[in-house]
């Protein structure tokens, strides 16, 4: 017998044509998570019209996700009134109808996985709506195709990468064909191609099927897709208007821990250097403005290209990887070839980037570097495979990091992990202890035996200070009572407390607001300058790599596709786009300028581009 609530939801779903014009109404809504906490929302009022594409921006903890949960009835307002399609989502009799209309995709896909097979996970929502089996099958096929995951229909979600899981989570919500689609940082873990695909799906559903879309994001550029944007600050609506109107308030955004899109910052810096450029939000329009200004200034000589710094050579803590292959669930039906003969050299002193599409093998590669995944020869019961008759024996993978040979089963793994620190995706999920002090001290106590209590306290104090936290304020607190940004800093402190020579971070800025991202990158540069010899970051953000890395490699389908300095790497946009990647904004601007007959010889950093334009304009002196 079908659930009566589900039957009611299906009936309501089939009468969506008669839904009220206001998809969502908030009337003087306030909410807090506990009596001890301050208000997550304070007297918030707004409406989302049927068929609208709304963007909600705001710093971490500003109240964005709270709004999403109130819309779907996952939370109940303390004060005020919430309506979703005219229904009260906090009413037990209405909540099933509300959830048939409003689907939400969360930031972390692991929070939404319910089945052991991808197609079962996607089918969960339609099954609970009581839809016929044939219709469920059609919806699975359509939803997986929409997010580019049709080939993974029979895979196990736990064996997918973070970005692949996120696509499955989006597909699971699309399968119920909601009238309101809420994306709560749903693209945070996707590669550039994946982000474009998901936002393109949302835009298409909005334009062609009239689905109301609420996009919660930290990617300022994504806001340009929307009809209207709200900026949240400390639980209140700080700004409201079109994306263009919002981004005209660049100074105000910075007071809310946000920032202009990078293209807006370039416009502002060009104006500051004496070039009267109106704020533009699209590369082709800004390039056209710059070309007109340069033409009006008369003949000019292109700014000289910056001098190339020599590539790093051998050092005490070089990393050398050769013939590295790895297969998950080898000799099983779920076998996945994650790495296929990787050869890579990372010199001591580099700030190195690893980029690649979702599932390209990035996380698998870096987990080999501190033996979280050991080479076959390093396993206790390893037996060298015999060569087939008439064939050469297969090459054995090798990894050498400084004095450590990771193919030697007698290697000191404890010493290796003290010298090669690893910070995972969502590092705050590494927290587990009762106090911040115990959490940060855990690794040091276990990796460096015999350390005195006084040395331990001093090391924890220095580590917390390095990440911008006050020892006296946080040491005795529970890490779970801290804000999201503070949790991430504590997690990083727990890794750097051993002062590793090499620090590896897998998507260190994912899910952070713009100010948080800047703070994390500044922290990494500070550590790199002071005592950390090599920093390696895995990132989907091409501008992040362009602005910070001395060199980067591109992984594609488990192989190294290219390895070079960012300016050379990103000068191949067509190739990168074919791999599901993107290029930094500066490279897009340079290409658009070339179409206008302007060639700039500069790197791929925004500051280099601005200096080159101002120098060509003839005003590059003190103002630049």
Q: Where are the alpha helices (DSSP H) in 531-597?
A: 542-548, 566-569, 573-578, 585-595
Distance in angstroms (rounded) separating the CA atoms of residues 360 and 560: 10
| Three-state DSSP class for residue 47 | strand
pLDDT at 300 (0 to 100): 53
DSSP string, 194-231: HHHHHHHHHHHHHHHH--EEEEE-S-GGGGGGSSEEEE
pLDDT at 623 (0 to 100): 36
Q: For residues 519 and 507, is the Cβ–Cβ distance under 8 A?
A: no
pLDDT at 135 (0 to 100): 95
Distance in angstroms (rounded) separating the CA atoms of residues 251 and 271: 14
Q: Left, alpha or beta for 256 (phi > 0: left; psi -120 to 50: alpha)? A: alpha
- Equal CATH topology for 4-255 and 325-378+395-564: yes
Q: Backbone phi, then psi, for 13, in 5-degree steps?
A: -60, -35
**Taking Cα atoms as reference points, which of 435, 142, 344 lies closest to residue 153?**
142
pLDDT at 255 (0 to 100): 84
Q: For residues 56 and 214, is the Cβ–Cβ distance under 8 A?
A: yes
Distance in angstroms (rounded) separating the CA atoms of residues 617 and 412: 58
pLDDT at 259 (0 to 100): 82
The whole-number mean pLDDT for each consecutive block of 10 residues of the chain, a chain of 624 residues, reads: 44 46 94 86 96 92 92 95 93 88 85 90 91 94 88 88 81 91 85 79 87 88 90 94 85 82 90 88 92 78 54 81 92 86 96 92 94 90 73 84 94 93 82 95 88 94 92 93 81 93 90 81 93 94 94 96 95 89 93 91 92 80 35
For the chain, the domains span 4-255, 262-307+585-617, 325-378+395-564
Domain 4-255 in CATH 3.40.50.300: yes
Distance in angstroms (rounded) separating the CA atoms of residues 480 and 302: 54
pLDDT at 19 (0 to 100): 52
pLDDT at 119 (0 to 100): 95
pLDDT at 4 (0 to 100): 46
CATH architecture of the domain with residue range 325-378+395-564: 3-Layer(aba) Sandwich (3.40)
DSSP tag of 249: -
Q: Left, alpha or beta for 63 (phi > 0: left; psi -120 to 50: alpha)? A: left
pLDDT at 345 (0 to 100): 97
């Amino acid at each position: 017998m079908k659930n009566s609530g589900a039957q009611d939801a299906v009936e309501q779903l089939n009468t969506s044509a008669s839904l009220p014009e206001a998809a969502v109404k908030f009337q003087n809504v306030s909410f807090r998570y506990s009596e001890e906490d301050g208000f997550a929302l304070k007297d918030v009022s707004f409406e989302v019209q049927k068929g609208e594409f709304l963007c909600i921006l705001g710093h971490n903890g500003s109240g964005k996700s709270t709004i999403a949960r109130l819309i779907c009835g996952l939370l109940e307002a303390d004060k005020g009134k919430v309506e979703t399609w005219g229904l009260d989502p906090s009413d037990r009799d209405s909540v099933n109808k509300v959830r048939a209309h409003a689907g939400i995709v969360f930031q972390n896909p692991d929070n939404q996985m319910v089945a052991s097979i991808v197609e079962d996970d996607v089918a969960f929502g339609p099954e609970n709506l009581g839809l016929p089996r044939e219709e469920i099958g059609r919806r699975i096929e359509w939803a997986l195709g929409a997010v580019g995951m049709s080939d993974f229909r029979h895979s196990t979600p736990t064996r997918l990468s973070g970005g692949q899981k996120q696509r499955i989570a989006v597909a699971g919500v699309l399968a119920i064909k909601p009238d309101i689609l809420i994306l709560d940082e749903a693209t945070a873990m996707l590669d550039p191609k994946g982000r474009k695909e998901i936002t393109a799906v949302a835009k298409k559903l909005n334009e062609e099927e009239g689905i109301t879309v609420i996009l919660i994001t930290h990617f300022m550029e994504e806001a340009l897709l929307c009809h209207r944007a709200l900026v949240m600050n400390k639980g209140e609506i700080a700004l409201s208007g079109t994306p263009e109107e919002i981004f005209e308030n660049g100074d105000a955004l910075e007071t809310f821990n946000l920032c202009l899109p990078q293209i807006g910052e370039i416009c502002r810096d060009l104006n500051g250097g004496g070039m009267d450029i109106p704020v533009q939000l699209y590369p082709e329009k800004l390039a056209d403005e710059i070309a007109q200004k340069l033409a009006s200034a008369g003949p000019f000589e292109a700014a000289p290209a910056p001098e190339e710094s020599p590539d790093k050579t051998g050092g005490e803590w070089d990393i050398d990887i050769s013939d590295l292959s790895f297969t998950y669930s080898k000799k099983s039906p779920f076998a996945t070839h994650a790495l296929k003969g990787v050869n890579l050299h990372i010199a001591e002193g580099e700030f190195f980037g690893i980029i690649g599409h979702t599932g390209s093998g990035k996380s698998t590669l870096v987990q080999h570097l501190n033996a979280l995944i050991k080479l076959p020869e390093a396993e206790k019961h390893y037996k060298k495979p015999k060569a087939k008759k008439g064939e050469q024996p297969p090459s054995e993978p090798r990894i050498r990091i400084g004095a450590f040979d990771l193919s030697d089963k007698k290697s000191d793994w404890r010493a290796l992990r003290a010298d090669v620190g690893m910070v995972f995706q969502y590092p705050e999920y590494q927290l587990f202890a009762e106090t911040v002090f115990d959490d940060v001290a855990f690794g040091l106590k276990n990796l460096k035996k015999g350390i005195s209590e006084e040395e331990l306290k001093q090391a924890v104090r220095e580590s917390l200070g390095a990440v911008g936290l006050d020892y006296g304020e946080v040491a005795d607190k529970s890490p779970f009572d801290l804000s999201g940004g503070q949790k991430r800093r504590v997690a990083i402190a727990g890794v750097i407390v051993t002062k590793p020579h090499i620090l590896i971070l897998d998507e260190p800025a994912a899910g952070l607001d713009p100010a948080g991202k800047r703070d994390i990158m500044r922290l990494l540069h500070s550590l790199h300058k002071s005592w950390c010899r090599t920093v390696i970051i895995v990132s989907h953000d091409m501008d992040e790599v362009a602005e910070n890395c001395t060199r980067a490699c591109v992984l594609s389908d488990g192989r190294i596709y290219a390895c070079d300095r960012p300016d050379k790497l990103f000068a191949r946009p067509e190739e990168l786009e074919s791999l599901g990647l993107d290029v930094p904004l500066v490279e897009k601007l340079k290409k658009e300028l070339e179409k206008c007959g302007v060639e700039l010889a500069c790197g791929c950093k925004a500051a280099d581009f601005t200096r080159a334009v101002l120098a060509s304009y003839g005003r590059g002196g003190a103002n630049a």
